Structure 1
Amino acid sequence: MMLPVLINALVVFIIVISSIIYLKLAQKYNIVDNPNFRSSHTIPTIRGGGILFFIAVLCYFVVSNFKAPYFVLGLSAIALISFLDDILTLSAKLRLPFQFLAVGLVLFQLHVFNMPWYVLTSAAIVGVAFVNVFNFMDGINGITGLYSLAVLGGLLALNTIEQLAYTQLLSYVLAAVVVFGYYNFRKKARMFAGDVGSISLAVVILYVLLAIGLELQAPVLILLVAVYGIDGGLTILYRFYLKEQLMQAHRHHLYQKLVDVWQWSHLKVSAVYMSLQLAAVVVVLLTYKFSILAQVGVVVAGLVMLAVLYVVGFKATVKKLEV
């Protein structure tokens, strides 16, 4: 009984030490995010700290005797290109194939390639869209970490209740999020997750969410990522309306408006997003055993409620700007 405890403690130790080493290396090699007119921060801040999430997955891969190799391979590819993007700023044309590769390997790991080609194609497109939305939402201190704690915590709760096989993976990634939070859950963060962090987390969540969803046949699990989905999705529609390029930096997300227009602190906004997602987690835990039809009804009701909150907040912001 002591061996698993010692292994888990060792993994946490590795993550902590990795955070210290990365902070020093990033400072030495100037891997920093310098503020500009689109930034929410005012001082140069270490970027790429989310590499800790990838390290946590590598630890899981070794400890689990190399389970889920295609998922880990896909994550490795996208983490590498995302980390290079944090350092060098790569074009979307170069990053996109790696995103489709990672999502494709996740689907291959889940043994769903016997589905019709149009289903797989749609799943790949939705998966890549999810990864990018998750990345777009990483714009203020605390939001990626706190929101991910809610999502990963919900997945871990489901996994524990149903005695599924993802406890170790989720626990290690959660530990990495907490360690990262030590540097990021601050008024002036010491490090940002960067693309390597937000995109790696998105792939982990996508993999576990799909795996548990397929196993339980529970469509209501989509609500586990609904808050980001609504803000990210409706913001993309708004940018289409403005005829903006989707990959161009902007400040149209509602969470950005709450900071810029309403002058809420980063951590207050992050806590609100986390709280809304935790409420959705509770709904999922209470309804995932309902009939499929009932779950679809719950999903529609939940998404409509979140969409209404978004529209009300956005309209109030526009009105405030007009005053």
Structure 2
Amino acid sequence: MNYIIVFLVLTFLSIIYLKLADKLNIIDKPNHRSSHTSPTIRGGGILFFLAILIFFVSSGFQYPYFVLGVSLIAIVSFVDDIITLSSSFRLPFQFLAIVLCLYQIGYSPNDLLVLIPLLIVGVGFINIYNFMDGINGITGLYSIVSLLGILLINSKENIIDNNLIVYSLMSLVVFGFYNFRKKARMFAGDIGSISIAVLLFFIGVYFIKELKAPVIILLVAVYGADTILTIIYRKSIGESLTQAHRLHIYQKMVHTLNLSHLKVSTIYVLIQMIINTIVYYTYDLKISYQYLIIVLVSLILTVFYYFMFKSVEKIK
């Protein structure tokens, strides 16, 4: 399908959703954990899911198991955006979505020793990606940068249909029109962050398997480091992981350093762009070198997180 047509369709769908969400009161109201101060349309990330559906139909129904998986989790997440579902209800659908992605990639029950760790990592990843949503621009801009890294590699290696990546990028740009601003008109919601997370997991694992390139995991390194280190810190102080908080570095930069949402999102994006450049030039190296790069980047991000956290705490 022509890219201009797809972009116009997604733009039209965004206008329709904005009006429907307002009429149906799908609104995110501020609470003590929120980084926004006024009610805002929730669930705008439905555009990411719709972009995947547009690709699915226009491509002759490619990757049906992946699309089924992302559809299941998108529907559940959208319901959760409206009425709030328990984690015990959401979790089985998350596992099922990851199972379908892994089956689409080519794994089978015979790969049990690989499947179990990938299942745990997959469910953990989509929840980590969901946790990081919270300030204007961060989910959209960060996802664009991660997908651009994937697009560059795919343009050389031709692992998957490029249109899946391009249509998703278009949906992020359209969403960005409403979200990449001082006062956002819509938030991605769980349907947005989780749908894009399933997409990134599917493509990422596919690339790692086909290219034998574990360094691909660094395409989401900044998000991963922030969330994992924040979880470790919260556990160390005995705080419940289900409790609302403002302990992510990006939240501290906004609420303690008083930096704007878009400035903080841009900082995260620029760091990830540097890492993406490293990934692009190293994904075809020997695996031992790739693991070394993963360890070095992880250590650098950990040290950066530690000193940023301590600096912000002193100001507080």
Taking structure 2 as the reference length, what is the TM-score of the superposition? 0.98
Aligned to 2:248: 253
CA distance in 1, matches of 2:274, 2:36: 29
Aligned to 2:315: 320
CA distance in 2, matches of 1:28, 1:112: 44
CA shift for structure 1 position 271: 0.1
CA distance in 2, matches of 1:219, 1:272: 25
Aligned to 1:288: 283
CA shift for structure 1 position 14: 1.4
Q: Secondary structure at the match of 2:298?
A: helix
Matched, 1:192 2:187: yes
Matched, 1:201 2:196: yes
Q: Secondary structure at the match of 1:236?
A: helix
Q: Residues 215-294 of structure 1 correspond to what in structure 2 (within 5 A)?
A: 215-294=210-289
CA distance in 1, matches of 2:161, 2:269: 22
Matched, 1:40 2:63: no
Cα RMSD for the two superposed structures? 1.1
CA distance in 1, matches of 2:191, 2:243: 18
CA distance in 1, matches of 2:126, 2:238: 22
Aligned to 2:126: 131
Aligned length: 316
CA distance in 2, matches of 1:245, 1:66: 43
What letter matches 1:38 in structure 2?
A: R
CA shift for structure 1 position 115: 4.9
CA distance in 2, matches of 1:241, 1:84: 33
CA distance in 1, matches of 2:10, 2:62: 20
CA shift for structure 1 position 213: 1.4
Listed one character per residue, the Cα deviations across residues 11-48 of structure 1 (whole Å, up to 9, x for unaligned) are: 22211111000000011011100111211001100000
Matched, 1:11 2:6: yes
What letter matches 1:41 in structure 2?
A: H
* Mean CA deviation greater in 183-192 or 116-125: 116-125
Listed one character per residue, the Cα deviations across residues 75-104 of structure 1 (whole Å, up to 9, x for unaligned) are: 000000000010001111111111111111
CA separation of 1:107 and 1:180: change in aligned 2, threshold 3 A:
same
* Mean CA deviation greater in 216-225 or 113-122: 113-122
CA shift for structure 1 position 296: 0.8
Taking structure 1 as the reference length, what is the TM-score of the superposition? 0.96
Matched, 1:20 2:11: no
CA distance in 1, matches of 2:165, 2:214: 20
Q: Which runs of 4+ in 1 moved over 4 A?
A: none
Aligned to 1:72: 67
Q: Secondary structure at the match of 2:108?
A: coil
Q: Is 1:166–1:208's contact at 8 Å kept on the other side of the alignment?
A: no
What letter matches 1:206 in structure 2?
A: F
Gaps of 5+ in 1: none
CA distance in 1, matches of 2:5, 2:315: 51
Q: Percent identity?
A: 53
